[in-house]
Amino acid sequence: MRPNLLAPKLNPGDTIGIVSPSWGGPGVFPHRLQAGIRALEQMEYKVVTAPHALSSNGFVSDTPAHRAADIHSLFVDPQVKMILSSIGGDHSCHLLPLLDFDLIRRNPKIFMGFSDITVLNVAIWQQTSLVTFNGPALMTDFAEFPDMFDYTRAHFLKSVTQAAPIGEVQPAPEWTEEFLDWGTQKDQQRSRKLEPLHGWTWLKPGFSEGILVGGCIESLQHLRGTPFWPDWQDAILFFETSEEKPSPETVDGILMDYQNMGVFERLRGLLVGRPMSYSEEEKQRLRERILERTAGYDFPIITDMDFGHTAPQMTLPLGCRVQIDTRRRRFTILDPAVR
At 120 the pLDDT is 99
Kind of pairing, strands 15-19 and 46-49? parallel
Extents of the domains making up the chain:
15-167, 168-333
At 1 the pLDDT is 72
At 2 the pLDDT is 83
Ranges under pLDDT 50 in the chain: none
Is the CATH number of domain 15-167 3.40.50.10740? yes
Task: Name the packing angle between helices 280-293 and 248-260 (round to 10°).
Answer: 10
> By C-alpha distance, which of 78, 29, 90 is closest to 54?
29
> By C-alpha distance, which of 232, 178, 168, 162 is closest to 200?
168
> By C-alpha distance, which of 8, 25, 138 is closest to 81?
8
pTM: 0.98
Sign of CA dihedral 80, 84, 85, 87: negative
Query: What does residue 242 show for φ and ψ, rounded to 5 degrees?
Result: -85, 180
| CA 318 – CA 132 distance, rounded (Å) | 5
Q: CATH: 3.40.50.300, 3.50.30.60, 3.40.50.12280, 3.40.1130.10. Which one for 168-333?
A: 3.50.30.60
Tell me the average pLDDT of the chain: 98
Number of neighbours of residue 128 by Cβ within 10 angstroms? 19
At 89 the pLDDT is 97
For residue range 266-304, list pLDDT tens digits in order. 999 999 999 999 999 999 999 999 999 999 999 999 999
Distances in Å between the Cα of 282 and the Cα atoms of 257, 287, 295 are 21, 9, 20
Beta strands in 104-216 (DSSP E): 110-113, 133-134, 167-168, 174-175, 195-196, 201-204, 207-216
